[in-house]
A and B are shown apart, each in its own frame.
Chain A
Amino acid sequence: MSSTESEVLSQAFELGFTYTRSTGPVVGRFLTELRDRKVVGNKASDGTVYVPPMEFDPRTAEEITEFVEVAETGVVKTWSWIAEPQSKHLLQQPFAFALVQLDGSDVPMLHMVDAGSIDKMKTGMKVKVRWAETTRGHVTDINCFEPA
């Protein structure tokens, strides 16, 4: 580019989507129970317990209607350390995104683990729910998991 041309224009730009989504009866039930500091999943016909609950059985495509409460303790199945959280992350100190399988559930769910340092993280470690101070029926009612 020739030196006589003006500098290329650039500008900060924020694209926002102000979504409100309906939750349906199954996810709605999960969130409603979270508001009461309980974690529920649901049980498919083969006995598999899904947390968060699923509307339909992924194997048979049947509706899943039987809700079950599971423990607020679980096991880290796999994890990824976030050494430098960004402003949009919900935890501002280093933390792990982890797949946590709650006791009583057969599938892990994605959430955050606040272990303090990467040395404390281990696949197979036991964790428990740290509840938000005020719960409102959102997945962030679980603030994160912490070592149990």
Chain B
Amino acid sequence: MTTDSLPVRTDVRPQPPKDSRPARRSLRTRLRPGAGRQHHAGPLTYLLLTVAALVSLFPLYWTMVAASTDNTRVSQTPPPFLPGPHLLENLGKAWQDAALGKAMVNSFIVAGVIALSTVLFATLAGFAFAKLRFKGRNILLMLVIGTMMVPPQLSVVPLFMMMTDLGWGQKLPAVIFPTLVSAVGVFFMRQYLSEALPDELVEAGRIDGAHSLRIFWSIVLPIARPPMAVLFMITFVHAWNDFFWPFIVLDMTNPTVPVALTQLSAGYIRDQSLIMAGALLGTLPLLVMFVVFGRQIVGGIMQGAVKG
């Protein structure tokens, strides 16, 4: 942490945070705002942000601690702050007690299929709304935006009847089908493609005699790859964590992870360290994803991906 002033840059591009060092805040640097980044962070900012990061991460850390001790140690006062020796043992037990093996496989299938289909259909529809001319385009787009306002929870009663009639009760398709598409995804792809896909490219494809699907395949898809990746991850997170509908339509013989976790709290096993081990296992796949792709996910959310 050096305090020597950096040479004052006169360009007005927002600087990447990497090469900006906390410098002594002369008036000149203070009044030289980058786009939105108008000031260097002071020690207080770092302190507050560190507290925020701790609050965010501590419950997860503590889950790990609790999952690695035994039941009597968890409930002592003061509570333990350091991991104990029983982590793997507890993870193994929780894995069996909550039938987490099957739940994990189910969750991967559900979240994977939903994320794939959401991305595919959102890109198709987003491309049509962004670049193709057709009658009723604006009205239909308004309709898509309007559907965002319909909370999915309101249709659970007839959905449950439908799924029972179809013989899909307790089966994965009952969870997958209602969420195969997402209005937010369509809107997100449309916004991106309106800006990122030049009209000339589409025209050029037409002149070469390519039909629409061909244009979509060879011109749109390569350009749309980054937002598709982001949409995939965010949809995956939401589908993995979805609770209300899966909880209603699935049972403990064939659960997704969040549904299986309720089994742990339902009182048959009041073993706190096992409960925590289960919670940790259920969160692990997404945590790994966030550690690996954290930067991309942050970028995606900031590009205007939306709470689903």
Whether chain B is bound by chain A comes out as no
Q: Name B's A-contacting residues (CB within 8 A).
A: none
Q: Name A's B-contacting residues (CB within 8 A).
A: none
